[in-house]
Amino acid sequence: MTTASTVSPWDDAIFWEGVDGGRLLLARCARCSRIQHPPSPMCPSCGSVSWDVQESSGKGRLHSWIVSHHPSRPDAEPRVVVLVDLDDGVRFVSNLHNVQLDEIQVDMPVEVTFQLVGDTVLPLFTRPGGGT
Ligand SMILES: [Zn+2]
């Protein structure tokens, strides 16, 4: 899905506004249509500085993952940090949600889910249909 608005290339506010509304919005070059995530000032393919917004389906496949034991708080649970190949053609770093360690497989299908973490909504990934 495409929206008509144009984003400032170095402004990630549109991304976070999308997340707050339960949408994964990506920057798409207005000249060559390359999807760029994270946003950058200039398109690495054609040099354009004009960007449009594309809504991602949020679907993709697990490229790689690790269990992070580096605690952000003394009682924090380890997190599964994932690298997802989105169907849109970009990689996305996030955490896996609601998936047991023995269920994780490289290339497994995943989809975005928007979860409140502390006081911030974050785009996390889970199995299709597992975003409760
Ligand atoms: Zn471009």
Tokens of 104: 């994780």
How far, in Å, is the centroid of ligand 1 from the Cα of 62?
Answer: 26
The answer for residues whose C-beta is within 8 angstroms of residue 94's C-beta and 6 or more apart is 81, 82, 84, 112, 122, 123, 124, 125
CB neighbours (10 Å) of residue 74? Answer: 5
Report the pLDDT value the prediction gives residue 127, as an integer from 0 to 100: 95
How far, in Å, is the centroid of ligand 1 from the Cα of 48?
Answer: 5
Report the pLDDT value the prediction gives residue 130, as an integer from 0 to 100: 77
Give, for all 132 residues of the chain, the pLDDT tens digit. 444 445 554 567 888 889 999 999 999 999 999 999 988 889 999 999 999 999 999 999 999 999 988 766 776 778 899 999 999 999 999 999 999 999 999 999 999 999 998 889 999 999 998 766
The answer for residues whose C-beta is within 8 angstroms of residue 98's C-beta and 6 or more apart is 113, 126, 127, 130, 131, 132
3-state secondary structure of 91: strand
How far, in Å, is the centroid of ligand 1 from the Cα of 23?
Answer: 23
Tell me the CA distances in angstroms from 79 to 35, 45, 97, 99, one per residue in order: 28, 34, 9, 11
How far, in Å, is the centroid of ligand 1 from the Cα of 92?
Answer: 19
Report the pLDDT value the prediction gives residue 40, as an integer from 0 to 100: 84
Q: What's the rounded Cα separation, in Å, for the pair 76 and 120? A: 17
How far, in Å, is the centroid of ligand 1 from the Cα of 85?
Answer: 20
Q: What's the rounded Cα separation, in Å, for the pair 22 and 87? A: 18
How far, in Å, is the centroid of ligand 1 from the Cα of 37?
Answer: 13
How far, in Å, is the centroid of ligand 1 from the Cα of 42?
Answer: 8
How far, in Å, is the centroid of ligand 1 from the Cα of 116?
Answer: 34
How far, in Å, is the centroid of ligand 1 from the Cα of 107?
Answer: 28
Tokens of 43: 């398109």
